[in-house]
Chains A and B, each alone.
Chain A
Amino acid sequence: MTVIVPTHLRSYTNGQSEVESRGATLRDVLVDLEARFTGFRHRVIDEQDRIRPHVKFFVGGDEAHALDVPVGEREVQIVAALSGG
């Protein structure tokens, strides 16, 4: 599936705004992304496996609040939400 990457994280994806990934769940997708883009996961998921406060994940257009959300072939979009000036 396609993962849409916000500008904040493109230093990890060699500037790519979209990358292809695979995984049954959001957790799996992040494992795949981390394997290719070292450091990526920690910037959006904390050490207790929580999505960081100002980061949102959408899977197939629906917001995902946990890592066990099924993904399949649906598009994943990562959004850096509003977080002050």
Chain B
Amino acid sequence: MSMVTLFVSTRKGLWTLRSADRKRFTLDGPQHLGHIVHHTVVDPRDKKTVLAGVRTGHLGPVVMRSLDGGATWKEAASPPKFPKGEPRGRAVDHVFWLTPGHASQPNVWYAGTSPQGLFRSEDAGDTWTPVSGYNDHPDQSKWAGGDKDQTPDGGKLHSVLIDPRDAKHLYVGMSGGGFFESKDEGATWSPFSLGVENKYLPKLPDGQEHTFGDDPHCVAIHPQNPDRLWQQNHFGIYRLDRDKGERWTRVGKSMPADVGDIGFGIVLHSRDADRVWVFPMDGTDVWPRVSPSGKPALYTTRDGGETWHRQDNGFPREQAWFTVKRQAMCGDGRDPLGIYLGTTSGEVWATNDEGESFSCIARHLPEIYAVTVGA
């Protein structure tokens, strides 16, 4: 088996974990010590380019680039910026999400920012231009719900997804705001949240449904069946089969009632579109967003969300109040699939047997924002 590399992005810098057997991991780092690293993503097309969204508490946001797999880094020449003098006066606070472009567009990348903006690079992340079709859409402010309808450190544009069959077919997730689709490479956008429960907004008359305004925490498209999308929403776990309809189905309703179906990340099995993993967190009362009852577990379905199975072998049995952010869960694409999750308390947990057992492979790190798999 070839080496597995994990990039662990934290509130205080970037670390890497490497393993040849997925049992013993070596921790290296930090890089960018003291900098807030929101997301670090390797380019699956060349397996060398790595981009990271970086800022500090004081300084403006940048994109850091590595052209050697993360060994050395250089600041992008022109990071994502809203146009000077734009009517809403927006300025990028941080680059929250990074997505490599379609396989047919080798140097294209997309970035999602806070406040919510979409940006595109055509030179492997060195310079960025705004995607005006989204950023300047006349309804974009309405979709975002204003300043109050945002996550604590600002709204996030995330889950920038590209249909592997069509480079022009894009999706984005807005927290808050909903899920949106473009079929023309970002020139025009339409809401795509039918079927998603929305308890934020008052009911509409005559049984009408809101088409946006919800909060998709994380959305993923299956690489081998791109008609199937999975979503961990603020209000549950959803599945969508575009070849069968245009409505999301809340498959999380079959989760155990005492656990619920609230969480942030979602991991797809790279070869089985019916199989996903979620990490439930407490969404009751004031939304503690920690493992329900202090007993961390992943839940997995093998049948498209009809039934769910608890996987907690190796996790602490009690008094373990894990919070796992939306970018801090990932799979490694290997067979059997390895899954990794990073906690806000600075631990990285791993399974190399599709969730049958877990072990802690790093601890004492700063608050973990993202865990991603390198090439």
Contact = CB atoms under 8 A, between A and B. Distances in A.
Given A38-B77, A42-B79, A48 B85 contact: yes
Given A38-B77, A39-B75, A46 B59 contact: no
Interface residues of B, number: 19
B14 to A, nearest CB: 16
A8 B91 contact: no
Contacts of A55: 58-59
A14 interface: no
Interface in A1-60: 8-9, 38-39, 42-50, 52, 54-55
B91 A43 contact: no
Contacts of B81: 42, 47
B92 A47 contact: yes
Query: Chain B binding site: helix, strand, loop or mixed by DSSP?
Result: loop
A28 B273 CA distance: 57
Nearest to B76: A39
Given A39-B75, A42-B79, A47 B58 contact: no
A42 to B, nearest CB: 5
A67 interface: no
Nearest to B89: A48
B62 A49 contact: no
B59 A44 contact: yes
Given A42-B79, A47-B81, A49-B84, A81 B60 contact: no
Contacts of A49: 84
Given A47-B82, A47-B83, A47-B92, A52 B59 contact: yes
A44 to B, nearest CB: 7
Query: Chain A binding site: helix, strand, loop or mixed by DSSP?
Result: loop
Nearest to B11: A85
A43 B54 CA distance: 11
Nearest to A45: B60
Interface string B258-286: 00000000000000000000000000000
B64 to A, nearest CB: 11
B91 A47 contact: yes
Interface of A: 8-9, 38-39, 42-50, 52, 54-55, 80-81, 83-84
24 contacts: A8-B56, A8-B58, A9-B59, A38-B77, A39-B62, A42-B81, A43-B59, A43-B60, A43-B62, A44-B59, A45-B60, A46-B60, A47-B83, A47-B84, A47-B91, A47-B92, A48-B82, A48-B84, A48-B85, A48-B89, A48-B90, A52-B59, A80-B59, A83-B57
Interface of B: 56-60, 62, 75, 77, 79, 81-86, 89-92
